[in-house]
Amino acid sequence: MTESILELKGVVAGYGPTTVLNELSFAIAAQQRLAMIGRNGVGKTTALRAIMGLVPLRSGRVIFRGQDISTLAPHQRAELGLGYVPQTRDIFPSLTVDENLLAGLKRRPRNALDEAYTLFPRLAERRRNGGTQLSGGEQQMLSVARALLGQPSLLLLDEPLEGLAPLIRQELLRAFRHMSQQTGITVVIVEQQVDEALGYAERALVLDHGAVVHSDGAASLLADTEALERWVGMAVH
Ligand SMILES: Nc1ncnc2c1ncn2[C@@H]1O[C@H](COP(=O)(O)OP(=O)(O)OP(=O)(O)O)[C@@H](O)[C@H]1O
Ligand SMILES: [Mg+2]
């Protein structure tokens, strides 16, 4: 049996009186690429935030590398190796690309920035540009690159392809593939671009009402038009 790097056990969480995650349970094997899909509002973002400690658990547990991290603060989880790229593209607009990346370095030497520029050459060309001068795709690359500089062993990506043109989506996916091959990082990708996410991932989870309702190999789910129609409400070409 492959050892899981992350496990959620019966996680219940929400906002105020609203319960969003209803006994959410799943496990991810180390170095796996897992796609998490589901309709709008089913709790995908909340699931990632619960893993990072940005939403408190009402019950259940989050286990990372065998350690119960349920009560740790977000920065402690980041120290342990969890990386998070939020849906909102978390960059500092008033800082340059270089400065944004320096903020992600933690205690690593400055020349580690080269890793980010090798993965995203487009960012290297714009290293002195301010965050506000970047296109949406470039902001997304910067957000991903900054998270990677912290050398996470598990990276959570919340809709990294959202609102981007097809060519830029392809560029990001190429970088994600490269990142997976080079580093053996474990990735959870939440996406509405189901065909592209399933093309990248190995396994897939479908969420509905804050719980896993379907789990399959990514390629099998991509071919399962009935399941996709039922759970995601979309026809995939
Ligand atoms: N900060 C918040 N306060 C109150 N309710 C919230 C908050 N954030 C999300 N919700 C609600 O929780 C539910 C789940 O939201 P969540 O963002 O996790 O869904 P999602 O699956 O990521 O959706 P989407 O595909 O639209 O990004 C939704 O009904 C949403 O309105
Ligand atoms: Mg979301």
Q: Confirm whether 236 is domain-assigned.
A: no
Query: Among 44, 89, 206, which residue has the most ligand 1 atoms within 8 Å of its CB, making it the best to mutate?
Result: 44
Q: Confirm whether 45 is domain-assigned.
A: yes
Instruction: Write out residues with Cβ below 6 Å of ligand 1.
Output: 15, 18, 20, 38, 40-46
Distances (CA, A) of 85 to 52, 67, 168, 205, 221: 11, 22, 17, 19, 25
Q: Please report which ligand is nearest the Cα atom of 46.
A: 1
Average pLDDT over residues 4-23: 97
Per-residue model confidence (pLDDT) at position 18: 96
Report the separation in Å between the CA atom of 204 and the middle of ligand 1, taken as the mean of its atom positions: 20
- 227: containing domain: 4-231
Query: Among 11, 46, 51, 54, which residue has the most ligand 1 atoms within 8 Å of its CB, making it the best to mutate?
Result: 46
Per-residue model confidence (pLDDT) at position 25: 98
Confidence of residue 3 (pLDDT cuts 50, 70, 90): confident
Q: How far apart are CA 131 and CA 36, in angstroms?
A: 29
Tokens found for residue 85: 């790229």
Q: Confirm whether 237 is domain-assigned.
A: no
At residue 14, φ and ψ (nearest 5 deg) are -175, -165
Residue 167 has pLDDT above 90, yes or no: yes
Q: Confirm whether 48 is domain-assigned.
A: yes
Atom 12 of ligand 1: nearest residue by CA position: 20
Q: What confidence tens digit (pLDDT) does each residue in 88-146 have? A: 888 999 999 999 999 988 888 999 999 999 999 999 999 999 999 999 999 999 999 99
Per-residue model confidence (pLDDT) at position 190: 98
Atom 31 of ligand 1: nearest residue by CA position: 41
138 within 8 A of 91, measured Cβ to Cβ? no
Q: Confirm whether 12 is domain-assigned.
A: yes
Residue 235 has pLDDT above 90, yes or no: no
Assign 3-state DSSP to the chain and report helix, strand, coil percentages, each to 5: 40, 30, 35
Atom 26 of ligand 1: nearest residue by CA position: 40
Atom 9 of ligand 1: nearest residue by CA position: 46
Per-residue model confidence (pLDDT) at position 76: 97
Q: Report the domain count for the chain.
A: 1
Q: Confirm whether 195 is domain-assigned.
A: yes
Type of residue found at 204: A
Per-residue model confidence (pLDDT) at position 236: 53
Q: Confirm whether 186 is domain-assigned.
A: yes
Atom 16 of ligand 1: nearest residue by CA position: 43
Mean pLDDT, the chain, whole residue set: 94
Q: What is the CATH number of the domain that holds 65?
A: 3.40.50.300
Q: Confirm whether 118 is domain-assigned.
A: yes
Q: Nearest to residue 11, comparing CAs of 32, 26, 33, 30?
A: 26
Q: What confidence tens digit (pLDDT) does each residue in 188-217 have? A: 999 999 999 999 999 999 999 999 999 999
Query: Among 11, 19, 20, which residue has the most ligand 1 atoms within 8 Å of its CB, making it the best to mutate?
Result: 20
Atom 7 of ligand 1: nearest residue by CA position: 15
Average pLDDT over residues 172-187: 94
